[in-house]
Amino acid sequence: MNPLSAPLGLARALNGSSRRLVLCRSAGLGNRSPVRVAAARMSTQGETATVLEPPQQTWEAAHANNPAFAVARELPPPKSHKREIGIFVVVAAVTWGLGSVIAFNYQRMTSTPVTAALFTARHNEGVREAFGGQLSFTSAFPWISGDISHLKGVVDVEFDVVGSKEVRGHLVLKSRRITSNQNGEWKTIEFYVETPEGHRIDCS
């Protein structure tokens, strides 16, 4: 059989009267979905044109045996992460700031000037009469206001205290280094414990 006979016969058939070609089913596995095909009129006066419309894919058609689903479906819009990133930056900044404040306060609480001032006030006779023995911080993590800088030669702190009589007071310590040497002499400017009535007990 001549291999050119089939195409020639098909060409003769198409060059005859007008015909309509309809594709009824699309290739694939499982349930076959109908595909609408625009009819193309076959005539001897013009060229044949066949227009295929893409199938309407549904989410039920999403399976591994239907590669046309990945091609025909519309891609979802890209998700923006600006809100999540903004929240993360704010939380990180707040956490870092709070951690820094706690760390500096703990450094002041355990510093030599604060512990020495508390020890000296605890053994002061006037403080013992007003507050009782065992003068200490009002909590396990008290807030120490002020600044301690050995480099600048400045100690300026104050914090709340409480004694065995459950009387609360306020300790104030202000001292300056009077020499340029970091290991030089210090001068106490103010050092007292204030009672709830406003009376200041000198501890210097």
Query: What's the pLDDT at 77?
Result: 78
In degrees and rounded to multiples of 5, residue 173 shows phi and psi of -135, 125
In tens, the pLDDT along 143-173 reads 999 999 888 889 999 999 999 999 999 999 9
Q: Each residue of 77-97: pLDDT tens digit?
A: 777 788 889 999 999 999 999
Residue 6's identity, in one-letter code, is: A
What integer best gives the mean pLDDT of the chain? Answer: 74
> Is pLDDT of 5 > 80?
no
The owner of tokens 């702190």 is: 157
**What is the β-pairing status of strands 136-137 and 145-149?**
unpaired
pLDDT of 55: 54
Q: Residue 60: pLDDT band by 50, 70, 90 thresholds?
A: low
**pLDDT tens digits, 109-132:** 999 999 999 999 999 999 999 998
Q: How far apart are the first and last CA of the chain?
A: 124
Nearest-angstrom CA–CA distance, 188 and 176:
7
**Tokens at residue 91, please?**
């939380």
Half-sphere exposure of residue 63: CA atoms within 13 angstroms, side-chain side: 7
Residue 23, pLDDT > 80, answer no
pTM for the predicted model, two decimal places: 0.56
Given pLDDT bands bounded at 50, 70 and 90, which one contains residue 1?
A: very low
Q: What average pLDDT does the segment 185-201 reach?
A: 92
Q: 190 phi and psi, to 5 degrees?
A: -140, 135
Whether 146 and 175 have beta carbons less than 8 Å apart is answered as no
Contact 173, 192 (CB under 8 A): no
4 against 176, higher pLDDT = 176
Residues 178-194 as b/e (b if ≥16 CB within 10 A, e otherwise) read eeeeeeeeeeeeebbbb
Q: Which of 123, 112, 194 is nearest to 161 (CA)?
A: 194
pLDDT reported for residue 192: 95
Q: Which residue reads 């549904």 in tokens?
A: 58
Report which of 110, 132, 112 is spatially closest to residue 121, judged by C-alpha positions.
132
Q: How confident is the model at residue 106 (pLDDT cuts 50, 70, 90)?
A: very high
CB atoms within 10 A of CB 56: 12
